[in-house]
A and B are shown apart, each in its own frame.
Chain A
Amino acid sequence: GAVVSQHPSRVICKSGTSVKIECRSLDFQATTMFWYRQFPKQSLMLMATSNEGSKATYEQGVEKDKFLINHASLTLSTLTVTSAHPEDSSFYICSASSEQGVWYGYTFGSGTRLTVV
């Protein structure tokens, strides 16, 4: 089956620094990557959708300059939280889908718990 590897699983950073989260599709080509944010006991909120080689499409209210998404290849997408602040502390999770070959549905990474101190 399809697997998405997400790293790091946990990260603590100082306020004002940037953090990069990676999602790699291991055995399929992820033509589309979705990035979500989740607060404790709440639902997943879609932040942006990215297609390989194109600029990401951000949901309303999501700052594109703060949450930089890169999807330069069919197997790698990254989310960079720039100038992180404590309010950016959250659980971030990616989900990949492919229009090539067998459709495995939406394959989720294992998530990244970001704490900004």
Chain B
Amino acid sequence: AQKITQTQPGMFVQEKEAVTLDCTYDTSDQSYGLFWYKQPSSGEMIFLIYQGSYDEQNATEGRYSLNFQKARKSANLVISASQLGDSAMYFCAMREGSGANSKLTFGKGITLSVRP
């Protein structure tokens, strides 16, 4: 079974509107972390937001928030007030365990296009 599932092949959003990018995960670990990264066409991986499995509050970072529903094993990214520069590929990733040397497992990614 896939550990990280991103099923939306491509998303379109109008500039200034909000958009939700879906991510579900599968793990039997109690301690894990969920990440979202943005990858523009230049290829760099830009860290957006992190949610720990024990965090009770949903993570927020500026225009990014993570809708963490632990029982449903979902960690959707919400981008508010979309900007043209948000057009990129977005990856959800999970770290199982708490060690700094734990590897990340990535989803397939979602392409987001912001329309002017």
List A contacts of B105 (CB < 8 A): 46
| C-alpha spacing A106/B105, complex, angstroms | 12
Q: Is A25 part of the contact surface with B, judged by Cβ < 8 Å?
A: no
- Are A49 and B47 closer than 8 Å at their CB atoms? no
Q: Is B101 part of the contact surface with A, judged by Cβ < 8 Å?
A: yes
- The segment out of A12-20, A81-89, A107-115 that lies at the interface is A107-115
Q: Which of A31, A44, A105 contacts B50 (CB 8 A)?
A: A105
Closest chain A residue to B104, Cβ basis: A106
Given contacts A98-B100, A103-B100, contact A42 B43 (CB under 8 A): no
| C-alpha spacing A42/B101, complex, angstroms | 24
Chain A contact-residue range equals 20 to 34
- Are A110 and B101 closer than 8 Å at their CB atoms? no
Q: How many residues of B contact A (CB 8 A)?
A: 22
Q: Is B103 part of the contact surface with A, judged by Cβ < 8 Å?
A: yes
Closest chain B residue to A100, Cβ basis: B100
- Are A42 and B108 closer than 8 Å at their CB atoms? yes
List B contacts of A110 (CB < 8 A): 42-44
List A contacts of B91 (CB < 8 A): 43-44
Q: Is B106 part of the contact surface with A, judged by Cβ < 8 Å?
A: yes
Given contacts A43-B107, A43-B108, A43-B109, contact A99 B101 (CB under 8 A): yes
List A contacts of B111 (CB < 8 A): 41
Q: Is A58 part of the contact surface with B, judged by Cβ < 8 Å?
A: no
| C-alpha spacing A111/B52, complex, angstroms | 27
**Interface 1/0s, chain A 67-105, versus B by CB < 8 A?**
000000000000000000000000101010111000101
Residues of A within 8 A of B (CB): 31-32, 34, 38, 41-44, 46, 49, 51, 91, 93, 95, 97-99, 103, 105-106, 108, 110-111, 113
